[in-house]
């Protein structure tokens, strides 16, 4: 499907300038940015769950939902170019890494493992 101002079906995203030229352009971009951030968060949550849980049922649930959320994220990324995405995402990724590290440490302590 070809979209605004593109010459091929391969590059079907409208440019930033074209989106802003639409009557709801900036408002729509803000909404998409929020949706994109939410999908990023959902992916990180399920990745973190898989990183720290041993429960087979929880792992199956998380893996199934992670696949769905990755599909949602890919769709949002097809709509919102990198320059329009939240500038807070790197901070969230650091927070997610810390959360996984704390989850692993907690699991190690509960299981009686030693911490290096």
pLDDT at 6: 41
- pLDDT surpasses 80 at 23: no
Distance (Å, rounded) from C-alpha 109 to C-alpha 43? 26
Q: Is 6 helix (H, G, I), strand (E, B) or coil?
A: coil
The proportion of the chain whose per-residue pLDDT surpasses 70, expressed as a percent, equals 75
**What is residue 9's predicted lDDT score, i.e. its pLDDT?**
46
What rounded mean pLDDT belongs to the chain?
79
Candidates 30, 37, 39, 31; CA nearest to 72 is: 39
Q: Quick one: pLDDT at residue 62?
A: 92
pLDDT digits (tens, 9 = 90+) for 54-110: 889 989 999 999 999 999 999 999 888 888 899 988 888 788 778 777 877 777 777
The pLDDT of residue 92 is: 80
Residue 96: both structure tokens together:
């997610």
């Amino acid at each position: 499907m070809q979209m605004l101002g593109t010459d091929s079906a391969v590059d079907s995203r409208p440019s930033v300038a074209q989106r802003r030229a639409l009557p709801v352009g900036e408002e729509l971009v803000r909404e998409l940015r929020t949706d994109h951030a939410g999908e990023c968060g959902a992916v990180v949550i399920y990745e973190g769950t898989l990183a720290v849980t041993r429960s087979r049922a929880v792992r199956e649930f998380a893996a199934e939902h992670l696949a769905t959320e990755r599909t949602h994220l890919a769709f949002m990324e097809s709509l919102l170019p990198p320059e329009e995405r939240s500038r807070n995402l790197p901070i969230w990724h650091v927070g997610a890494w810390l959360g996984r590290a704390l989850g692993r440490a907690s699991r190690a302590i509960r299981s009686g493992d030693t911490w290096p």
